[in-house]
Amino acid sequence: MNSLRFFLNMMIAPLPIMQSILSQLPSEARQWTEGLSWQQRRYVLSLCHLLLSAPSEVQAEFLDEYTADGIVAKLVQDQKTKEKVEHYLQIFQIPRVLNEKQLRIYIRQFYIHSAHDLRCEPQIFLESVLQLVVDPQEKKNVFTYTLGFELLLMMFRMSWLQHERLYLMQINQEWFLQTYIKPIQYTHKINHIITPKDERLFFAKRNFFVQKPEVSDKKAWELVMATFKTETVTNLGFSVIRHHNAFIFDSDYIFSEEEEIETPLMSAVSLRESRSL
C-alpha cells in the first residue's frame, strides 16, 4: 500500500520532489517513468487510485492476474531451488508435482494468504508482492512457501498420536509443539474435526487421540491459511531447505499402524493425574 502511495505522490509531485523520488527507483524503472507522456501518467495514476481503494482480496485477485504469468516463467528458470523443494517433497512423501500449473496455483495462494494477513499488518501485502515482482531473490519465497504449506497440510491430516510422534523427534520439541502442533490441534477442535472426550483423564478411552482427521483438500487449504500467517509458512519451508535437522521425519515411525502405546507425553499426563489423587 505504501508503495502505491509512493508512486502516486511521485507522479503528481513538483519537479524537484519528483526527481528526488525517482532517484530511489532502479535505473530502468526511472527511465520508463520519466518517458511517460502526460496521458500515460494519467493512466498510471488511475490504476494506482483503483488499487488503493480496492479491498485487499480484490488487490490479490488483480495482482495474480497481472503478474503471475511472468513470475511463473521466472520460477521455472530457477531449477536449482525448484529441485531442492521437489527433493524435500519426496523425502516427506508428499505427492506434489511442481509444474507450471501448480506454481500458478501457489502464486495465487501466496497472494490471497498475504491478503488475509492484512487484518493484522496492512502494510505488508503490497510490499511483498512488489518485491516478488522485481526482486529475483524474493521469488524464492514462493518455493519456500510451497514447501512450508505442503508440510502443514500433511500435519493437518495427522492424528494427534502422529503429532506426538513427530514433535518428540524434533531437536527443539517445545518450540515445535507450540509453533505448529498446538495451533493445528486447536483448529481441529474448534472446527469439530477432532473432538476430545475426557481429554485430561489418562485412563479414559482415548479414541480421539488416534482418530484420523477427515477433511477435504479445499477445507485443509483454508484451515492452514486461517491458522498460520504467510510468514510462518514461508519460514518453515526456508528452515527445512537451510537446515537438515529443522524438520526431522521418519514416516515408518510416525505413520505406524501399531496400537496406541504409552508415549512420553501420555506418561507425563498419567503422572500429573496420579499426583492430584
SS (H, E, C) 22-86: HCCCCHHHHHHHHCCCHHHHHHHHHHHHHHHHCCHHHHHHHHHHHHHHHHHHHHHHCHHHHHHHH
Question: What is the pLDDT at residue 271?
Answer: 29
pLDDT at 12 over 60: no
pLDDT at 76 over 50: yes
With left for phi above 0 and alpha for psi between -120 and 50, is residue 200 left, alpha or beta? alpha
Q: How far apart are CA 228 and CA 117, in angstroms?
A: 9
pLDDT at 231 over 70: yes
Confidence of residue 130 (pLDDT cuts 50, 70, 90): low
Question: What is the pLDDT at residue 61?
Answer: 73
pLDDT at 153 over 80: yes
pLDDT at 132 over 70: no
Question: What is the pLDDT at residue 109?
Answer: 84
pLDDT at 152 over 90: yes
Confidence of residue 123 (pLDDT cuts 50, 70, 90): low
Query: Tens of pLDDT along 245-268?
Result: 899 999 999 988 755 444 444 433
Q: How far apart are CA 159 and CA 154, in angstroms?
A: 10
Question: What is the pLDDT at residue 51?
Answer: 79
Average pLDDT, the chain: 78
- Better-scored residue on pLDDT, 134 or 242: 242
Query: Tens of pLDDT along 188-211?
Result: 999 988 877 766 665 455 677 777
User: What percentage of the chain has pLDDT greater than the value 90?
Assistant: 31
CA-closest candidate to residue 166, choices 148, 180, 147: 180
